[in-house]
Amino acid sequence: MSDNSENTGAVSAENAKEAEIFKEKANEYFKNQNYEKAIELYTKAIELNPHVASYYGNRSFAYLKTECFGYALNDASKTIELDRNYVKGYYRRAASYMSLSKFKLALKDFETVTKARPNDNDAKIKYTECNKIVKKLAFEKAISVEENKKNIADTINLDAMAIEDDYTGPKLEDGKVTLQFMKDLLKWYKDENKLHRKYAYQILLDVKSWFMAQPSLIDVPIPDDNKFTICGDIHGQFYDLLNIFELNGLPSETNPYLFNGDFVDRGSFSVECIFTLFGFKLLFPNHFFMSRGNHESAVMNHMYGFDGEVKAKYTAQMAQLFTEVYNWLPLAHCLNSRVLVMHGGLFSRDGVTLNEIREIDRNRQPPDEGIMCELLWSDPQPQMGRAPSKRGVGVQFGPDVTHNFLKVNGLDYIVRSHEVKNDGYEVSHDGKCITVFSAPNYCDTMGNRGAFITLKGKDMKPNFTTYAAVPHPNVRPMQYATSLLKFMI
């Protein structure tokens, strides 16, 4: 099957030729991992000749790389509409469905591929793996009623976990996190060691109890002359997290932090990141804050590596306990009644109030729609109004939506994360919407800088610190991800 299956219609020979030139240039940018530029050039090729399936297929792949799963799905479907024999279109669509947790639809496309290419072992493997996920989810759904009656936390017996004589790592003092424990933990992790399972479980049980007592929206007071730091996505990049503390100081009562979701997944040091953050939460509970991101969910953790990493370093039971803890993470923080911080963004309807956010029943997996979903998934757009999300989940919101929300709630601006930015941050919507992303050279491929925001209580003016990635041990990103994603990364 040709990559250039086409129905040229009324396209002139000149336009068709120019479109091919754009496609070739786009392919080069794609190979060099400049996906945004590749998308721009594939789009130009499509504008000149909208009848070539491979243009949409290639752009779909680039959209997958930039996590625009909704756009990737649309392009993949367009390739199939243009050429039902274009097998890569089914691959791309299956990948898009996978990323949107629509596993049954993904399975149907993988099945189409295996029928079209019966001797393709890669296609057979993907079909088999996807089928396993579908069956596993069906089984879990069938037993979920019974499972919901018990908490994993209630089944943990810390007394039965002995500390081996040869364990020389950090130790909790009387079961509590101390500053010395945290300093020892950072060094222990930096040297690629593992925290003892008894202490790991203790931290999870204690932090779950703390989060359970919190509302879905946390009000954070910041005194006039005090500094406050906001960090965006970390995504399992532990050595870059250490660098943030090197640049900005360790968390303390006089150096408070808010980490704004997506602590785990993709990066292969997610366990180290999350226990570091949870440890500081327990040490400074009123001066260290954590918001839930879209990757603090069971499906995302299964696909993008955290679930596999926890099982590799600890147990399947602990992976289930993490899901329980994540369900209790707060969804947003309001700083000095002036700035709202959430992982994703704003809403598909006007008039949402802080009280509505405060009252969200969050102890669950993120839903596919509604304000809890949108807090975790939405993105800003430069155009006015709203549009369907490029991710296929949440909504895209314009400057007018932001201004309206701020006016309704008496706020100055919003801070959100969720998107890679070349400089680690972006100021949009007339300065009223700020994105901060703290994982530099995301997935070891994107070449972006990381950033964090510091502000003072007096004026709440955001100041940006940017930084490059630091070296890390030779463990590649997505090491623990589901094998089905390997053709997407």
CA distance 344 to 437: 12
Quick one: angle between helices 306-313 and 316-326, nearest 10? 130
CA distance 467 to 270: 20
Q: Token pair 């629509």 is at which residue?
A: 102
Q: Which residue, 429, 407, 408, is CA-closest to 416?
A: 429
Give 352-357 contacts, CB < 8 A, sequence gap 24+. 352/405, 352/408, 353/408, 353/409, 354/217, 354/409, 357/216, 357/217, 357/331, 357/332
Q: Exposed, middle or buried, 124 (CB in 10 Å: 0-12/13-18/19+)?
A: middle
Q: What does the block give as tokens for 256?
A: 């408070």
Query: To 10 degrees, the CA torsion angle through 86, 36, 369, 338?
Result: 180
CA distance 75 to 59: 7
CA distance 161 to 197: 8
Q: HSE on the CB side for 5, CA within 13 Å?
A: 19
Contacts of 447 (CB under 8 A, 6+ apart): 33, 422, 441
CA distance 427 to 410: 20
Q: Exposed, middle or buried, 159 (CB in 10 Å: 0-12/13-18/19+)?
A: exposed
Question: In terms of DSSP H, where are the helices of 344-398?
Answer: 354-358, 371-377
Annotated catalytic residue within 295, 343, 418, 472: 295
> Left if phi > 0, otherwise alpha if psi is -120 to 50, otherwise beta: which for 156?
beta
Q: What does the block give as tokens for 417?
A: 């994360």
Q: What does the block give as tokens for 169?
A: 């790592």
295 is catalytic: yes
Q: Answer whether 368's CB lies under 8 Å from 324's CB.
A: no
CA distance 206 to 146: 25
Q: What does the block give as tokens for 421?
A: 């930015």
CA distance 358 to 216: 5
Hey, which residues are catalytic here?
A: 295
